[in-house]
């Protein structure tokens, strides 16, 4: 979703702002803009479309200055257009703001401001913020921003500058993320750390209600209780290379291939192979509470939710803890049954997904123990949960989540072993799981050898307009995830269901034009899947099977077979999902889609 960059420091800010915007492109956007102060005036340029379009519009002569803000907009109020692009200003063109989030009471505020004579140019909620600050401005931008916030309802991260205060940038946030990079004689504001990586490793995450004021002499933060505060400085371990394509055509392909290492990074230092135990430092502080929990609720969205669905099978089978997976977007609107012996696990790559965060806050109201499985270090969900486990996979840039998904699965397996050992999971069983987890990276390397075969299959099935994905037990969520990935990046309609549900309706779709992909490893439900494949074949349907190496029988039945290495049933989704990622990828490439930034989608969904 929208991306914010703000800069003040010793350097010319144009290159920093443009570089920051380019690094935030992956979040998804439809227009972009910048505003730079030259010490007397503020120069603004905006454009519909990509940052490359914006660059063409910028006058390098006018864009000289060491203070500026920039933005990539993902339209909410008003169509994607130049006039709706940020930054927005008040009537006098002195105050300029960029904003991420939604101002729910913008129409009321706009009506009031219009009565006071303010003239609006755009259809955005953001322009209201600029006029409101202008109305309240009395020579001090920090004070005006603070006063303006008292009138705003909704979610926001705001960065503002004023032509009359050329040595100051002011930022605030409520329910939308905002990070501050502390560099050498420079301060950078951003929606996420990817715009900061490369300039500094030291970042501060602002809390709701904080007002941050950066000048050339440093940063001052005042919290919602009006006290000057010093926040913890996090050191980011992401590096510049991780946000480059490094020879791959797309980030998605790079990230699919990175899974060999990312799985290893997620388990590093966490397995004791000798004793067959798992050590999760982030859960140590709540170990006793975990031993006492009676049920688990997993709250999450999208791909991360599919990881949760696999986790549900793991936790029930091996830790014997009743587990449910909830759509985070639904959780707060029902009357969930939970108490202080419930653990609520929030899974989120970005750690900023608005619905998942809201679900965590809801769970806290019931006194539940909240646990995060999060990739972005220091993100809001990581900070607001009682304890958690980081994925440690570096940045995931492509909108389509791949390496985060397999990492979420492996962490759920680790948590299962830990909770299982606190209950009745035997050390022999635990050792077996731990041993298999330690081998996953090698198996992923093996499965990636199918790359070329999957590419050929994508070519063969490229004209299909509909796809069915089916699987059972641990691989039912992989059918759902495979379908989501296919829809998300290739725009081919796909449905992922439990194979056993097929006969209750979906089979009506089967014909020679609607292929079915069966996730069918040699596991405890293999025979059942085979029966379902027979039924599809009997109705003239074409079948692609993801099967275990050595399963020659399935080749007589399915039209195409993708073989993957054998692995413990509970861990099989980590392997079987990879062909579905590659299939979606090549379908999207052949259809000439914008693979890393699919239409209408955003990497981090920070609004409800
Ligand atoms: O950052 P999160 O893991 O909380 O994001 C959740 C979903 O928005 C995300 O997984 C989404 O479904 C992906 N684009 C799917 O590839």
Over the stretch 191-228, which tens digit does the pLDDT of each residue have?
Answer: 888 888 888 989 999 999 999 999 988 899 998 888 89
Atom of ligand 1 minimally distant from the CA of 601: 14
> CA-to-CA distance for 73 and 127, rounded, in angstroms?
13
603 is a catalytic site residue: yes
Would you tell me how many other CB atoms lie within 10 Å of the CB of residue 144?
21
pLDDT, mean of residues 419-436? 95
Q: What is the pLDDT of residues 338-397, one digit of tens each?
A: 999 999 999 999 999 999 999 999 999 999 999 999 998 888 999 999 999 999 998 898
Answer for the pair 278, 271: CB distance below 8 angstroms, yes or no.
Answer: yes
Catalytic residue among 94, 253, 254, 603: 603
> CA-to-CA distance for 144 and 403, rounded, in angstroms?
43
Residue 241 has pLDDT above 70, yes or no: no
Does ligand 1 lie within 6 Å of residue 349's CB atom?
yes
Residue 439 Cα to ligand 1 midpoint, Å, equals: 27
The pTM score is 0.79
Residue with tokens 């692009």: 85
Q: What is the pLDDT of residues 508-544, one digit of tens each?
A: 999 999 999 999 999 999 999 999 999 999 999 999 9
Residue 76 has pLDDT above 80, yes or no: no
Q: Whose CA is nearest to atom 12 of ligand 1?
A: 302
- 534: CB partners within 8 A, 6+ apart: 557
Catalytic residue among 2, 63, 149, 301: 2
Structure confidence at residue 30 (pLDDT):
85
The confidence band for 491, taking pLDDT boundaries of 50, 70 and 90, is very high
101: left (phi over 0), alpha (psi -120 to 50) or beta: left
Hey, which of 26, 328, 349 would you mutate to test ligand 1's pocket, going by the most ligand atoms within 8 Å of its Cβ?
349
Number of residues that make up the chain: 608
Residue 531 Cα to ligand 1 midpoint, Å, equals: 33
2 is a catalytic site residue: yes
């Amino acid at each position: 979703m929208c991306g914010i960059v703000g800069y003040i420091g010793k350097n010319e800010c144009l290159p920093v702002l443009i570089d920051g915007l380019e690094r935030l492109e992956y979040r998804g956007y439809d227009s972009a803009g910048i505003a730079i102060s030259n010490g007397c005036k503020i120069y603004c340029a905006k454009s519909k479309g990509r940052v490359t379009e914006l660059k063409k519009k910028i006058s390098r002569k006018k864009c000289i200055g060491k203070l500026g803000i920039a933005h990539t907009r993902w339209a909410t109020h008003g169509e994607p257009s130049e006039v709706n692009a940020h930054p927005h200003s008040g009537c006098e063109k002195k105050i300029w703001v960029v904003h991420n989030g939604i101002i729910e009471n913008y129409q009321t505020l706009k009506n009031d401001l219009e009565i006071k004579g303010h003239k609006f140019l755009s259809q955005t909620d953001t322009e209201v913020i600029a006029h409101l600050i202008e109305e309240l401005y009395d020579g001090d931008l920090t004070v005006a921003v603070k006063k303006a916030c008292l009138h705003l309802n909704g979610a926001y991260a705001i960065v503002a500058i004023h032509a009359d205060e050329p040595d100051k940038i002011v930022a605030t946030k409520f329910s939308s993320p905002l990070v501050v990079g502390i560099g050498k004689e420079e301060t950078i504001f951003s929606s996420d750390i990817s715009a900061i990586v490369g300039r500094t490793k030291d970042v501060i995450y602002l809390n709701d209600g904080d007002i941050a004021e950066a000048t050339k002499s440093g940063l001052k933060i005042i919290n919602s209780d009006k006290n000057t505060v010093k926040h913890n400085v996090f050191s980011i371990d992401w590096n510049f290379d991780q946000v480059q394509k490094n020879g791959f055509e797309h980030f998605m392909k790079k990230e699919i291939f990175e899974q060999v290492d990312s799985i290893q990074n997620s388990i590093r230092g966490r397995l004791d192979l000798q004793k067959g135990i798992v050590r999760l430092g982030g859960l140590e502080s709540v170990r006793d509470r975990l031993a006492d929990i009676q049920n688990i609720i997993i709250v999450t969205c999208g791909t991360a939710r599919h990881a949760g669905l696999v986790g549900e099978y793991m936790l029930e089978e091996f830790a014997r803890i009743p587990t449910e997976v909830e759509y985070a977007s639904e959780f707060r609107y029902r009357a969930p049954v939970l108490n202080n012996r419930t653990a609520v696990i929030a899974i989120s790559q970005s750690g900023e997904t608005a619905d998942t965060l809201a679900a965590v806050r809801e769970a806290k109201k019931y006194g539940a123990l909240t646990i995060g499985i999060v990739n972005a270090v220091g993100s809001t969900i990581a900070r607001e949960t009682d304890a958690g486990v980081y994925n440690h996979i570096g940045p995931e840039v492509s909108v389509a989540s791949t390496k985060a998904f397999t990492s979420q699965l492996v962490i759920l397996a680790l948590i299962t072993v830990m909770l299982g050992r606190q209950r009745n999971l035997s050390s022999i069983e635990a050792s077996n799981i731990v041993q298999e987890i330690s081998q996953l990276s090698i198996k992923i390397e093996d499965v990636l050898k199918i790359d070329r075969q999957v590419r050929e299959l994508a070519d063969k099935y490229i004209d299909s307009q509909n796809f069915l994905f089916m699987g059972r037990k641990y691989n039912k969520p992989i059918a759902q995830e495979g379908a989501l990935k296919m829809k998300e990046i290739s725009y081919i309609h796909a449905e992922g269901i439990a194979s056993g549900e097929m006969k209750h309706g979906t089979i009506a779709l089967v014909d020679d034009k609607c292929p079915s992909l069966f996730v069918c490893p040699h596991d405890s439900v293999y025979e059942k899947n085979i029966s379902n494949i027979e039924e599809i074949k009997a109705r003239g349907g074409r079948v692609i099977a993801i099967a275990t190496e050595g399963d020659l029988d399935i080749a007589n039945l399915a039209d195409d077979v993708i073989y993957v290495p054998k692995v413990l049933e509970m861990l099989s989704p980590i392997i079987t999902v990879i062909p579905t990622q590659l299939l979606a990828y090549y379908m999207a490439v052949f259809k000439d889609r914008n693979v890393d930034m699919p239409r209408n989608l955003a990497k981090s969904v920070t609004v409800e």
